[in-house]
Amino acid sequence: MARATAPMGNILRVSLMAAGALGIVLGVALVFLWHSSLVDLTGAPRLVGFIVFRGAEAALIWGGAWLCVRGWNGGATPAEG
């Protein structure tokens, strides 16, 4: 049995998509592009920095994509299953 989505207002939908886009931008720009600078700035060993910051990058991108999709699909009426 399919679960119906809860009704969602347009302001909430836009907010979810904006937060998702921000998470994706932070994941790509902050962690991916400036990875080595962040590792040097924190003083963490290379392997630990790689694991932590790549994990944070994956979490930000995955979470941002989830928020964008949830905001995009969360219509004002429940989906019929």
Residue 1 has pLDDT above 50, yes or no: no
pTM: predicted TM-score of the whole model, two decimal places = 0.71
d(CA 45, CA 27): 21
pLDDT at residue number 4: 59
**pLDDT the model gives residue 37:** 79
pLDDT of residue 9: 82
Query: How far is the C-alpha of 41 from the C-alpha of 61, rounded, in Å?
Result: 22
pLDDT digits (tens, 9 = 90+) for 5-52: 567 788 988 999 999 999 999 888 877 777 777 778 888 788 888 888
Domain ranges of the chain: 11-70
Contact status, residue 13 vs residue 74, Cβ threshold 8 Å: yes
Cα separation, 74 vs 12, in Å, equals 9
What is the average pLDDT across 61-68? Answer: 93
